Amino acid sequence: MFGDLFEEDFSFISNNHCGKGKKSKPRESEPPAPRDSTNLSGIKNQGGTCYLNSLLQTLLFTPEFREALFSLGPEELGTLDDSRKPDAKVRIIPLQLQRLFAQLLLLDQQAASTTDLTESFGWSSHEEMRQHDVQELNRILFSALETSLVGTSGHDLINRLYHGIVVNQIVCKECKNVSERQEDFLDLTVAVKGVAGLEEALWNMYVEEEYFENDNLYRCGACDKLVEASKSAKLRKLPPFLTISLLRFNFDFEKCERYKETSCYTFPIQINLRPFCEQTEMDDSEYMYELFSVIIHKGGCYGGHYHVYIRDVDQLGNWQLQEEEDGLIEDKALRDTENSKETENPLAVLKGILSEEEAKQIPVDQLGQKLLEKKGVSWNKKYRKQYGALRKYLQNHPQIFQLSPDGNKVGLKETHKLLFKLDSGGRDLQSPPQKNDVQWNCEKTPPRPRATSAGCHWFDLNDSKVQPIKEKDLEKQFQGKESAYMLFYRKAQLKRPPEARGNPRYQIPEHLLNEMNAANTELQKKRAECDSASNGIDLHLHLSSCYKFHNGALHPSLSWKESVVDLTIDRRRTLGDLRQAVFQMLESWEGDMVLSMAKPLPAGLHLYQVLDGDELTLDGIGLADGADVFVWNGKEVGGTKVLTGPDHEPVVLNVLRLAEHNEGGKGQHFSEAQHVFSCSTSLGQLHSALAPAGGIILKNGSGAEGEAKNWEVFREEDMKETVRSVGLRDGCSVLILDSHDQSFVNVASGNLTAFTYDISWLQVKNFCGVEEEEKLVKITATIETVMSDIKMKAIRELQLEEELANESCLRPVSGNGKLLSPVPEDYTVKEAELKMGSLLGLCRGKAPASTQLFLYFMVGSDQNCSPEMEIVVEETASVRECLNLMLEKSGLSGDNWHLRRLDWCYEAGEALSQENATLKELNVCRGDTLVVTEGKLPEKGFLKIPIWWLRPSSHKKHGENAQDQVNGVTWKMDALQVSAAAAPPEPTHPGLDLCYAGRIEIAGEASLEDLKMQCQSSPWEAHT
């Protein structure tokens, strides 16, 4: 179950175990998250290792175990760097445990990984995904550690901390002889069923006596006879740490199933074990134990989840409940309210910033940035509404602030700088302390101030998640599906040294301290890189010198690539920083520089708002990754004034007009052109620009091809509306109709009008001749256009002879280029189920009438041997008539043939057995493929069965009977796969002792005995 956890031989160490700070698995691209407010590290769950995580956290928060493990140096355990050396004896398990404990104590990450440790156990990924019992793991892990530490100063580590002795005694009632048996234990297992709590369970085990009497007597060794006696057990030796396992899981013999005992089972925070001990004369302190860990199981007997409640003995974590944090926040809010007058006064804030500067004056933009850094909010967001712009505010207080002649720099006048230093008004301008004040990379960490009063607090360590809890929360684990499973007590006499309190570095070896410091430095570096990468944004700078304005939008004079400069910058930098970076890139820039948000539109590049407020961050003004910024003077581009903002967005419209020459069918040709208009253009202006006098404009918002069904006429009262207000967007189509074309429009009761038919088109390709084969034309049509009209239009467009109309047909072309069945010429586009834009082929041959069927057929189901042929038959033709026509066309004769449908595997499928039935009655449809198959179908109710003879084998094995031969050849029969429709197989099959005899026609109701008799009486009997 636990792999090679017991192995003493160290040859199982894999080459995957690397040296310090190295992982056997590739690291994630993002660094792990830092510790949360508790300052404690969780452990990642590898899929089913919550039981392991809970036990490891308990061992970590057993300081005496942790320090005893840390006391074993490389001279005794070896090093992980030597694990690859064949002759080196490296004790992997304690080394990996040391390293994991150091990471949990010192590494600034939210959760540590146990991958290296479980690999040292020899676990596979399968073991990591399976959940096991934590009580069993506790014993196995201790055994493995003892084995690993043999020959070191830590060989007795487990016994020293956890070993206890129970003595079992039997006292003879007659001679008073005492027979005793001593048992060692590392943990005690106590009953849960029928017991109220831990004290009662211990009382039943170590105080209550069992009596041998009546029919149940004891044979005394001294008396040498059966006597009455009493049996009892006592704790002879108490360990420093007492581990108690609760028997939560039991077996119901009536139901024959396991179950979990969820009844109430209490356990005390402190317990006096004197009543359960053999020796009771010592001081009470020798028997007092304090609870410090509770492993909890949530779920049933066949699965669940483990987590652990732990008392922080060394006070390594920051314990602060959420409600108390909320209280502190409220207190701070009250204090902030009391000082609000001073805080809200921008004079005090700005004076405080300037008084800290060594330089006499700093740029005004820099002052805005420092305000943002100190207060966490920009001037524009907090003060601008009340006090105006920052530069104007400074100018309005000349008695306090001294501005440079150009107004770009500012400083405090000397008198105010001195007064401010003497005043305490700037005290809250100091940087607030960090939430977690651990100096992760320093050599020694000073004891941290406690968030609450002195004393040990409890935490819930649930895999990666760590949160503080109250001591009374332990009572919730007395009963239920989520309840205590293992209890860990420590002697109350065990006191921790003052220097260990709040100091996670206490007693950690120097080489591990150095490794963790290096790992933390690397983590900080990676977080900085990740932070920079996650906060870096790529901006596309469009330079006005590379653009020209025409047709309502900006267009690059050169290629797009040559007109755009990419710039990467931190989103937390200010707009002033961006402006400075652009100035540095464009050294030749002269005059004012304006940065405007831009957006590529179908019509070209359009400008929106000007970026203003140099003290604001790029994130604050809404600059996102990939944003387009236009660099210009804010007025014109190439001498042309540029209109900006959403009200002047250019819109590309597809303008359709009816062609001058059309064939007069139900469909119409139209020409198409693209025009650009501002979205604020009125429909009156649009009408003047596009429509002739008396003309009308119709809208279709579905796209460029005009397939949509609801064309709407813009009425006279709509002419004051704008392009945007009537819903015209990029890609919308408008149709311009002259006065003589308006017969296509229905006008009723002043309502909006629409086309009678939908204007669209079909494609027709010439397949009638070799020279014009590749020529393709578009034919306008509607869903009501008749196919004969489409054929005539195509013949004229292709400039073919009109006599071809009587000798040709239209056939849809599939996606893979196959010609499908011809469409009847009296069908409409809708009846032919053609989609607008479909491709049709103009082919030689008459199209079938609506009462005829166009069918494909082949001889045999092998398409490689028999080409696919075509035929037109009446739908009232019978199956026999259809078969005869197909045989005639394929040059075959005789009556030993039948028809089958082609199934979805392109093989001969269902037979058309009713030869007198019509094709219509059998639901044979236009375009179906039939297979002409050799062989005559049996009469109704009869079957044709292939018969194979098993020939006597000349190489029969010794001891093999006839049944064995039959069984041995059964698998060979599967390879033959003979069906009634298949051609007769070879008389003999290579490699098989089989001979094909032929087929038998027999009634479906016949028995196997009938089949056997008919086989034996058939002419081929001589084969046997």
Residues classed as catalytic: 50, 305
The Cα angle at residue 30 between residues 25 and 32, in degrees rounded to 5 = 80
- The structure tokens 């581990």 sit at 243
Determine the Cα–Cα distance for residues 683 and 724; give it in Å rounded to an integer: 10
For 213, how many CA atoms within 13 A lie in the half-sphere containing its CB? 8
Q: Distance (Å, rounded) from C-alpha 650 to C-alpha 606? A: 8
Identity at 406, one-letter amino acid code: D
Backbone angles phi, psi at 654, to 5 degrees: -90, 115
Distance CA 236, CA 278 (A): 5
Q: Are 705 and 760 in contact (CB under 8 A)?
A: yes
Exposed e or buried b for every residue in 960-979, given b needs 16+ CB within 10 A? eeeeebeeeeeeeeeeeebe
Residue reference for tokens 């409640």: 309
Separation in Å, CA 23 to CA 17, 114, 116, 906: 8, 11, 7, 56
Output phi, psi for 414, to 5 deg.
-55, -40
Distance, in Å, from the CA atom of 777 to the CA atom of 46, rounded to the nearest integer, reads 65
| Cα torsion 950, 953, 957, 962: sign | positive
Spatial distance between the Cα atoms of 776 and 795, rounded to a whole number of angstroms:
11
Phi-psi region of 393 (alpha: psi -120 to 50; beta: other; left: phi over 0): alpha
In 24-139, the DSSP E strands lie at 42-43, 111-112
Determine the Cα–Cα distance for residues 538 and 567; give it in Å rounded to an integer: 6
Quickly count: other Cβ atoms within 10 Å of residue 591's Cβ.
7
Contact (CB, 8 A) for 854 and 926: yes
Who's near 759: CB < 8 A, 6+ residues apart? 667, 668, 670, 706, 780, 782
Distance separating the N- and C-terminal Cα atoms of the chain: 61
What CA–CA distance (Å, rounded) separates 394 from 877?
101
Give me the residues paired with residue 597 across strands.
629
256, 244 Cβ separation under 8 angstroms? no
- Judged by DSSP in three states, 599 sits in strand
Q: Give CA–CA dist 525/512, Å, rounded.
A: 20
Strands (E), 852-896: 852-859, 869-874
Q: Token pair of 678, please?
A: 């501002």
DSSP track, 561-578 = HHHEEEEEEETTSBHHHH
Q: Which residues are 214's β-sheet partners?
A: none
| C-alpha 392: how far from chain center | 52
Largest CA distance in the chain: 135
Taking the CA atoms of 318, 324, 326 and 332 in sequence, report the sign of the dihedral they define.
Answer: negative
DSSP string, 359-422: SS-EEHHHHHHHHHHHHSS-HHHHTHHHH--HHHHHHT-TTTEEE-TTSSEEEE-HHHHHHHHH
Of 88, 94, 71, 100, the C-alpha closest to 148 is: 94
Instruction: Count the Cβ atoms, other than its own, within 10 Å of residue 106.
Output: 23
**C-alpha to C-alpha distance for 895 and 358, rounded to whole angstroms:** 113
Give the other-Cβ count within 10 Å of 128's Cβ. 18
**221 and 171 in contact (C-beta within 8 Å)?**
no
